[in-house]
Structure 1
């Protein structure tokens, strides 16, 4: 069975199990009266190799939002994008030169609401391992790959806390070879782990 077929079957099986998912950074009280979220999409690109990996980026330090953080390729859904899938593929091409034709789309994961006002839909896809990725100098300081097995393992999903906007916040973080994957990116990986009957 191909990796794409395995992931599709795992996603379908996970949906039937109705797992408990993380919905966002904000509490229900904070969402009451909050402005509508900006729709966004990210690409969770899994490389098709014996030990599959997930393509992640390190954002540049000069960006206004989430500077220096580890993230999936992605961004807001523009009016010209047909849907979340189109937006995720477009953003991945802009940020790391990943051709849309090189991605086999598997499906979408439940959206996640960030504290910065975005409702992010993760799009799961499989990518050939030989695709040359080139980070966009304006947005991406580095592009790297972390093992899918490591990212999906609940033992690596560490709960942490910190103060944000005057309140204590709880979030997940996942460490990989000195890379600190945390916040919304880690939360979406936790959800992926829960949604995939891998």
Structure 2
């Protein structure tokens, strides 16, 4: 039996150096790409942002947002934002790796993490 998609992603991310970019003057932020099994396939969880938020109103996105002063690192930001936006407890996310940093047109430096959750998830 072959590897599952999360196992393939974890293996690929474990053997590479995360690409970093110069984020001087940008807003530090992080997102979580969440994979979950459903009906024999793996799906990616997306979020429709509220019209009430300051940035990226109504956009379809990965759960995430700007780093808060109490966040110890970018992973803590991604996990906190996932819990706040999606109701998924930090302890229920299995982090499998980090992808390259990226910059948005709106001035954010984004750290991208990949994780898994069980399905169905009890909110």
1:72 CA displacement: 0.8
Secondary structure of the corresponding residue to residue 80 of structure 1 = coil
Unpaired runs of at least 5, structure 2:
none
Q: Compare CA radii of gyration and give the structure with the larger one.
A: 1
- Counterpart of 2:58 (choices 51, 58, 68) is 68
- Counterpart of 1:85 (choices 75, 80, 104) is 75
Question: Is the 1:43–1:124 contact (alpha carbons within 8 Å) kept by the matching residues of 2?
Answer: yes
Which residue is equivalent to 1:98?
88
Question: Is the 2:97–2:115 contact (alpha carbons within 8 Å) kept by the matching residues of 1?
Answer: yes
Which residue is equivalent to 1:117?
107
What do you get for the CA RMSD once the two structures are aligned?
2.6
Secondary structure of the corresponding residue to residue 85 of structure 2 = helix
Structure number with greater CO (CA < 8 Å, separation at least 6) is 2
**Which has the larger share of helix?**
1
Partner Cα separation in structure 2 for residue 116 and residue 96 of structure 1: 23
Partner Cα separation in structure 2 for residue 4 and residue 83 of structure 1: 23
The count of aligned residue pairs is: 119
TM-score, structure 2 as length reference: 0.82
TM-score, structure 1 as length reference: 0.53
Which residue is equivalent to 1:10?
12
CA spacing shift, 1:106–1:58, aligned 2, 3 Å: same
1:4 CA displacement: 4.0
Unpaired runs of at least 5, structure 1:
24-30, 134-198
Which residue is equivalent to 1:186?
none
Question: Is the 1:4–1:104 contact (alpha carbons within 8 Å) kept by the matching residues of 2?
Answer: no
Which residue is equivalent to 1:41?
30
Cα displacement string for residues 114-172 of structure 1 (whole angstroms, at most 9, x for unaligned residues): 12111001110011112134xxxxxxxxxxxxxxxxxxxxxxxxxxxxxxxxxxxxxxx
1:7 CA displacement: 2.1
